[in-house]
Structure 1
């Protein structure tokens, strides 16, 4: 018989439970859920030396009253020491093992001792203290290696056994130990595999999204953007643990030693979930799709360049796979055998999560009242009033393009030399102007307008402006030559060399071909950039990040003498790197 945990199911005699990792993300939610239900004496055990009451993030009056009344207590426990676990588990009916989720993956030994050896120590302590039930919080990650999609994965789904992420590999080993310990010395065990846990107090997923948004990188969608995922609100995970403990107490054979997937039973597109979180916090939602391989290459370059790899609790490559693959699970076994059903819906869970992270919200004016009438970058580059290349007025643009095509055919496709073509064009213009001048004011009832003489005049201000532009260009070139002569700017030297090489390569083609390419490019490139400005800028930033990382990787491989020679250039270069790119690094 399955027993569901409700607020009315309060036992006459209170039972004692231990929550190992009670100060962690999931541990705090489980402690709060146990105290709300009543009927439990909760021993909060954690590796931290401070009580929950001293945690500034905890302001729940229920928790404070529980500590004052003796319904809850705190004990410092290091799972690497069996003797400390034994002290806190004596006389307990059930142990909930919620291992830490914020481990440093750069310290393999510490991770192994806490996850794998910690599981062994917890099992030994429970057996020695005659604890009847042990519920272990695992993860749905242990059946996902990123190589393929998972659609409605159930308990028959085979674990890959080999993982690219170290923490998932260790958690898989710990889960195996917990399940093998079932029914030894009267100990009944159960393993829960929640998928993508989120909620108030999250120290990993939501803060990572906010950091990416602040760096300007949250606008990217990795992959197709239509992959489905299962998410689980933290209170639902806590509820599932209590359901498992109650079911183990009823000695249901189909539960002991088994593992169960836990979800919110509401699959959602991964990037829709991310959009809801970021949009609720006032940040720009992802909308630019980027190939997965490109993101993986940039992350790989970043890892190769940095000796300390990364400061994440999960491998960046694993996060890329998680964000680009479908990953949903069948939770029917937990419903049928544990009596589990979500107590908080996905909509309410997202709302509560956003409210809890209000201190990370973006309050910028642009986010709330975006100015969509702002001049585009293409217009700024072309100057005010120039809209021919942007196809704002299709008739004017087509007329201009048609005129230039005629000029192109006249000069390059007629077979004459450039001088003779120019002479013929001037002769044609003179004849046309002379003929226009001798025409009568009316021809067949149509008025013929005279061309005012001002059309052929160049004002003094226009002439001065033209001369200033020529002088400015000349002086700018001279300054660059002087800078190169000093030998101080390494990057400028390479740019000049590459420019000269490209100019040399261009000379291999005929002028007619080059003019035709420029003509087509001018009337298409600015129009395309104006239409897809955000996407092109995003691709440019990604390319820039990749080049920066590749440059850093190449400099590390160069001899020390050459690296020191280019050090000054690197300092100058870093000063010009956009702030959001530097923050991403």
Structure 2
């Protein structure tokens, strides 16, 4: 394998750290870029970088062979719109400009399956689906705009690009999705599902995603099969959202969900919560599933075909959902996570 100098943006987050490990373990020279600078392995260069700063981005990208653009602001509430767009679109534009300035050959964009979601059922959707034509949340809107820029940019100069669309990523090190579920369970607030559990969703174990990104980066080069392409990446095991939650709860040792609330009630509560949050100025990185966008996700089919990725990237998901959840909870146990239920002391 050719050794390349690769910048990974958002490298301190859940997905970012896993990508840093994946590419460093593969033998590449990795630069981890993030707005925080907390080194976590000795063979990686760590830099503090705000991708909204065009000059800082230009300087950081000098001498690179490849960029894995993972940094984004995940915020599905309808507030803090300017902040979300500044990171998700302007940051992407700054990185693409650096590719031109420094003749960087490869660019892999970590996008989102929400790029095609319009609040209606998607069953086994593939990459021929068009972009969403309606505005639902600044996160989805800005990811669509950024992905369009990336795909249009591919091949304009020396840089070849592709986009990876994962859906609901989970695994060891998750600091958002799994902790939110377990925290609610711990507080006794996770007793009811939304709707009838008759709609299927996709989930993606973290190593299945990083395997796919590694495979895509290898193939996004002049003449490579991935140039200008988009790939859905999931476990390929559609499951009702709250059935997945129950699997996690059982693995962690919490009671499963018994009751349910109708969609209209949950959606109304989420709308009220968003409104209150907006009046307070809008909180970033503090979502708990109570947004209109998230509630809509829970009551619609949204699962995708991964056949194109299998075929063109020579990739397969190696870890199934059950094993992924087992590994996730096992890591939490090893780290003595306070999110897990306390085991009663045995009588002497």
Tell me if TM exceeds 0.5: yes
Q: How big is the shift at 1:298?
A: 2.6
1:117 equivalent in alignment to 2:90 = yes
Partner of 1:144: 117
Secondary structure of 2:220's counterpart equals helix
Partner of 1:283: 254
Structure 2: stretches of 5+ with no match in the other structure: none
Counterpart CA distance in 2 for 1:249 and 1:124 is 18
Check the 8 A contact 1:165/1:315 in 2, yes or no.
no
Which protein, 1 or 2, shows the higher relative CO under an 8 Å CA cutoff with sep ≥ 6? 2
**CA distance 1:272–1:130, change in 2 (3 Å):** same
Check the 8 A contact 1:104/1:111 in 2, yes or no.
no
Check the 8 A contact 1:46/1:75 in 2, yes or no.
yes
Counterpart CA distance in 1 for 2:217 and 2:168 is 22
Q: How big is the shift at 1:108?
A: 2.1
Partner of 1:45: 33
Counterpart CA distance in 2 for 1:302 and 1:31 is 36
Structure 1: stretches of 5+ with no match in the other structure: 1-9, 54-62, 67-71, 369-585
Q: How big is the shift at 1:119?
A: 0.8
User: Residues 442-501 of structure 1, C-alpha deviation per residue, up to 9 Å, x if partnerless?
Assistant: xxxxxxxxxxxxxxxxxxxxxxxxxxxxxxxxxxxxxxxxxxxxxxxxxxxxxxxxxxxx
1:332 is matched with which residue: 307, 311, 315? 307
Check the 8 A contact 2:221/2:227 in 1, yes or no.
no
2:186 is matched with which residue: 214, 217, 225? 214
User: Residues 177-219 of structure 1, C-alpha deviation per residue, up to 9 Å, x if partnerless?
Assistant: 1111111121111001001111122222112212322343311
1:223 is matched with which residue: 195, 210, 214? 195
Partner of 2:318: 343
Q: How big is the shift at 1:98?
A: 0.4
**Superposition pairs of residues 57-68 of structure 1, within 5 angstroms:** 63-64=41-42, 66=43
| TM-score for the superposition, normalised by structure 2 | 0.90
User: Residues 295-322 of structure 1, C-alpha deviation per residue, up to 9 Å, x if partnerless?
Assistant: 1123334444562286444761111111
| TM-score for the superposition, normalised by structure 1 | 0.55
Check the 8 A contact 2:76/2:294 in 1, yes or no.
no
Q: How big is the shift at 1:365?
A: 4.8
**CA distance 1:168–1:131, change in 2 (3 Å):** same
Q: In terms of Rg, which structure is larger?
A: 1
Counterpart CA distance in 2 for 1:136 and 1:128 is 18
Counterpart CA distance in 2 for 1:132 and 1:176 is 19
2:108 is matched with which residue: 135, 151, 161? 135
Secondary structure of 2:329's counterpart equals helix
Q: Aligned residues, how many?
A: 337
Check the 8 A contact 1:102/1:204 in 2, yes or no.
no
Check the 8 A contact 1:192/1:259 in 2, yes or no.
yes
More helix as a share of residues: 1
User: Residues 23-43 of structure 1, C-alpha deviation per residue, up to 9 Å, x if partnerless?
Assistant: 1111100111112222x1111
Check the 8 A contact 2:171/2:324 in 1, yes or no.
yes
